[in-house]
Amino acid sequence: MTTAKIALLPGDGVGPEVIGAAVQVLEQVKGHEWSFTEAPFGIQGINATGSVFPDETRRACEDADAVLLGAVGGPAGSAAGGLRPEAGLLALRKHFGVFANLRPVKVWAPLLEFAPVKPELLTGVDILFVRELVGGIYFGTREEPPNTLMLDSTAGAYDTMAYSVPEVSRVAKVAFEAARLRDHRLASVDKANVLASSRLWRRTVDLMAADYPDVQVLHQLVDSFAMQLITRPQAWDVVVTGNMFGDILSDEASILAGSLGMLPSASLNEGKFGIYEPIHGSAPDIAGKGIANPTGTILSAAMLLRYSLGLEDAAHQIEQAVEQALLSGIRTADIAGTGPVTSTTEFTQEIIHQLSQLSQ
């Protein structure tokens, strides 16, 4: 019997709805016990304590084996009282040094017909994005005029994209090692035809390739890669890229899996600690309606079991239960097309039902 400590940060918008679903699924995993500690984060954190990443939340995470997070943020671009909830998410990631963000993209057979890409292009698609998460343009020097200032023609702002060799090599190592356990193909995505930081990225990956002669490395420019992700999705195995490119490309790739609501993620540091969250945001347009797709969060919980707790069998069972639920025909609105729609709760109940069948 394993008792693991899991910090829950439901956050904003649909965050509490999808975290509630994932907790229900975890509670059905036989042979293990979880000790959950819930803590405020994002706008929820501002309302509770005045901070987007409150000290009590940091301590709850430090005390846990892993963090399961919903989402933060209000309607895109909004700020709550001048504070940006997204800054809390970046601070959380930086605090724990979770530099390797794994975003697997798997195509589910029952959703093939539904995806906007032709089914024959999608069969067998299985991509693992390894996104650098605590560096690059998200964390470089920036400057902007204060919010309170009226903008005139002299106003300007800048962000800086910087990468060092150690920052690139530690995330590339995760990608090379992952490729070794998969199909031995690695695409490194950059903008080396324009950006100095991308040229350093490319040279670092090339230097490391000598240590992985069994892995075939291909460099791709981000603009044409964005296109080829849709035209040739079966061509990709592991994809390693910087923070911002990985953010954008993974949302694009979610379309291959049927919906943004389907994709999970694991953000890992050098040890076993990880932050697990769906790749989507707080979805303000559907928040509170009970219709969000909880799959990305439920699969994130499975990744938590796999990477932070070493419970491969339990992780695999959750993934199988999701597949069985999809096979049963149950659908949240985002993956229903013109067919019948169920609520987040009914969808979760079906996954729990399938899990109980599997673990009998």
| Residues marked as catalytic | 138, 191, 223, 247, 251
Contact letters for ligand IPM, residues 46-75 (x by CB under 6 A): ---------------------------x--
Instruction: List the single partner that 292 binds among ligand NAD, ligand IPM, Mn ion, none, CB under 5 to 8 Å by kind.
Output: ligand NAD
Contact letters for ligand NAD, residues 267-286 (x by CB under 6 A): ----------x--xxxxxxx
Using DSSP's 3-state secondary structure scheme, residue 41 falls into: coil
Q: Which of residues 77-96 bind ligand NAD (CB under 6 A)?
A: 86, 89
Contact letters for ligand IPM, residues 157-196 (x by CB under 6 A): ----------------------------------------
Q: Are 216 and 95 in contact (CB under 8 A)?
A: no
SS3 content of the chain, % helix, strand, coil (to 5): 45, 20, 40
| Crossing angle for the helix pair 295-307 and 344-358, to the nearest 10 degrees | 40
Instruction: List the single partner that 261 binds among Mn ion, ligand IPM, ligand NAD, none, CB under 5 to 8 Å by kind.
Output: ligand NAD
Task: Tell me which amino acid residue 62 is.
Answer: E
Joined tokens for residue 83: 């504070």
Instruction: List the single partner that 334 binds among Mn ion, ligand IPM, ligand NAD, none, CB under 5 to 8 Å by kind.
Output: ligand NAD
Q: Are 190 and 206 in contact (CB under 8 A)?
A: no
243 binds ligand NAD (CB under 6 A): no
What is the per-residue burial (b if ≥16 Cβ within 10 Å, else e) of 318-331? Answer: bbbbbbbbbeeebb
- How many angstroms separate the CA atoms of 125 and 239, rounded? 13
- How many angstroms separate the CA atoms of 96 and 239, rounded? 23
Q: Are 99 and 135 in contact (CB under 8 A)?
A: yes
Residues that bind ligand IPM (CB under 6 A): 73, 86, 89-90, 247, 279, 281
Residues that bind ligand NAD (CB under 6 A): 14, 18, 71-74, 76, 86, 89, 260-261, 277, 280-286, 292-293, 296, 334
Residues that bind Mn ion (CB under 5 A): 247
